[in-house]
């Protein structure tokens, strides 16, 4: 039985926004270990959708750009509808995550040790991360009551795995980047056992250029402060 | 504390509460509309009888009627900004649902119409 066959109850959700250059290679790497990959093209203006279509991944397309949080939720909704889907993984499109790490996260939830497994670059390794980025990520953890409650070291890691009960309860409403904090808050509010698993995040020139500016921290705080208002 | 200071602080805190409130029910909506009508009425009165405005201003501890008007404008402008922001969020949430429903529907159609091994 190959690695891919063992993982046929796993769905990997990859939010994609203007990742034409990397997405093909990222998806091909994932498909070697996980047969079910769904890419959510979040209104890309480059050839990302065509690049995904050329792979064996499922493609779901937002006709306008909504943000990474919205793309994740769409991917999860799609995966939840697929027969036989038991485990769900979120994975970044820019090639900063390793497929082996995704496997380790799936093992953690599959073994029953926890309901949700979150990747942490601070337990593991982060190669090529700038000092400013490290400080900002540390601050994000320190400022989050939910992260402290769950004893997390990294709240903004795109690599996560969880089972169906958690996936069904996650309703990400933060369309843009505040979804990472929102997911942690939802996990902390529920009865879930959450475990951090060390992962390696590779900062390349590409992912650094694609990654969000640290200034976005201000946007995130602003978005979170109005989370529950619904005028 | 001068009366106007208390009034302004209460008004600004009110804007903050509106900003972070979880529910915006019927009561809130009616309140907003009544406040708007009252504000218009007060403005009409102030235009017709500017001296009265000055008298009210002096009464609450503001020098000139024009200053009182300025304070009122400040609070209403803030209120407008917050209210519009909340409205935009609600619209954005609906748009997200719409785009998501469309995307999922389209993806399923594409899957079911493509031959199983087309690799699409």
Strand partners, A117: A161, A195
Structure tokens at A187: 């996990």
CA distance A165 to A74: 17
Instruction: Tell which wins on pLDDT, A228 or A196.
Output: A196
pTM of the model: 0.79
CA distance A194 to B90: 31
Domain assignments of chain A as residue spans, ordered by start: 3-227
How buried is B9 (Cβ within 10 angstroms: 0-12 exposed, 13-18 middle, 19+ buried)? exposed
**Is this complex's ipTM strictly greater than 0.90?**
no
Q: What are phi and psi of A176, to 5 degrees?
A: -95, -145
What's the pLDDT score for residue A4?
Answer: 67
Minimum-distance CB partner of B19 among A61, A78, A229 = A229
Mean pLDDT of chain A: 86
Q: Residue A189's closest CA among A181, A197, A198?
A: A181
pLDDT tens per residue across span A76-132: 999 999 999 999 999 999 888 999 999 999 999 999 999 999 999 888 777 777 777
> Class for domain A3-227, per CATH?
alpha beta
pLDDT at A185 over 60: yes
Separation in Å, CA of B101 to nearest CA in chain A = 9
Mean pLDDT of B88-102: 92
Question: Which contacts of A104-111 are long-range, i.e. CB under 8 A and separated by 24 or more positions?
Answer: A104/A197, A104/A199, A105/A159, A105/A160, A105/A161, A105/A197, A105/A199, A106/A7, A106/A10, A106/A161, A108/A161, A108/A195, A108/A197, A109/A161, A109/A162, A109/A163
CA distance B87 to B78: 14
Structure tokens at B1: 């504390």
Structure tokens at A60: 């779901």
How buried is A102 (Cβ within 10 angstroms: 0-12 exposed, 13-18 middle, 19+ buried)? buried
Confidence label for A37 from pLDDT (cuts 50, 70 and 90):
very high
A&B contacts, CB < 8 Å: 72
Separation in Å, CA of B115 to nearest CA in chain A = 13
Percent of chain B with pLDDT over 70: 89
Q: Which residues of A touch B23 (CB under 8 A)?
A: 230
Q: Looking at chain B, which residue has its C-alpha nearest residue A224? A: B20
Structure tokens at B45: 């009165």
């Amino acid at each position: 039985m190959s690695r891919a066959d063992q993982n046929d109850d796993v769905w990997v959700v990859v939010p994609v926004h203007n990742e034409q250059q990397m997405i093909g290679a990222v998806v091909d790497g994932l498909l070697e270990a996980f047969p079910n990959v769904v890419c959510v093209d979040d209104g890309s203006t480059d050839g990302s959708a065509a690049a995904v279509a050329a792979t064996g991944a499922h493609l779901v397309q937002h006709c306008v750009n909504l943000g990474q949080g919205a793309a994740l939720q769409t991917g999860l909704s799609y995966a939840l509808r697929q027969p036989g889907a038991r485990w769900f993984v979120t994975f970044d499109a820019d090639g900063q995550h390793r497929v082996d790490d995704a496997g380790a996260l799936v093992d953690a939830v599959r073994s029953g040790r926890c309901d949700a497994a979150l990747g942490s670059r601070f337990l593991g390794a982060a190669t090529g991360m700038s000092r400013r980025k490290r400080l900002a990520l540390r601050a994000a953890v320190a400022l989050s009551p939910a992260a402290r409650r769950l004893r997390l070291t990294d709240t903004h890691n795109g690599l996560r795995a969880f089972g169906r009960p958690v996936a069904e309860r996650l309703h990400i409403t933060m369309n843009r980047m505040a979804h990472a904090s929102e997911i942690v808050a939802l996990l902390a509010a529920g009865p879930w056992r959450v475990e951090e698993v060390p992962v390696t995040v590779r900062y390349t020139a590409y992912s650094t250029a694609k990654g969000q500016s640290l200034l976005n921290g201000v946007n995130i705080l602003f978005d979170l402060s109005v989370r529950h208002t619904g005028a | 504390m001068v009366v106007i200071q208390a009034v302004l602080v209460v008004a600004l805190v009110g804007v903050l509460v509106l900003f972070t409130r979880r529910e915006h029910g019927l009561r809130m909506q009616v309140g907003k509309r009544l406040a708007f009508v009252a504000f218009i009425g007060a403005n009409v009165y102030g235009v017709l009888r500017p001296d009265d405005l000055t008298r009210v201003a002096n009464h609450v501890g503001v020098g000139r009627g024009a200053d009182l008007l300025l304070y009122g404008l400040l609070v209403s402008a803030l209120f407008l900004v917050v209210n519009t922001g909340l409205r935009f969020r609600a619209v954005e949430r609906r748009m997200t649902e719409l785009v998501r429903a469309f995307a999922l529907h389209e993806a399923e159609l594409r899957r079911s119409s493509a031959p199983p091994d087309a690799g699409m």
